[in-house]
Amino acid sequence: MLALRIEKIGELAVVECEGRVVRSEAAVKLREAVTSLRNARIIVLDLSEVRAIESRGLRSRDAPVSATMGFRPRHSIQALQSY
């Protein structure tokens, strides 16, 4: 299960993710969250609380990075993960 929390600060949006991204439903949920942030110039994906990411799901067309194709070039998505 994937839980999302979105914080907006001016043109910056932070999508805090918690749980697992191992099913296509989670990838779709993350994609929808990212694409809903059309007014954000910078989108940060905070993956520090994500316990598992299935690579197959991130390579699919439902992955959040694929969703950026609809954004104008001035948009940027950054992913953060603790080590």
In angstroms, the CA 43 to CA 80 distance is 11
Q: Which domain holds residue 13?
A: 2-80
pLDDT for the residue 14 = 93
The CATH number covering residue 76 comes to 3.30.750.24
Burial of 78: CB neighbours in 10 Å, binned 0-12, 13-18, 19+: exposed
pLDDT for the residue 25 = 85
How many domains does the structure of the chain reveal? 1
Average pLDDT for runs of 10 along the chain of length 83: 94 92 84 89 88 70 49 52 55
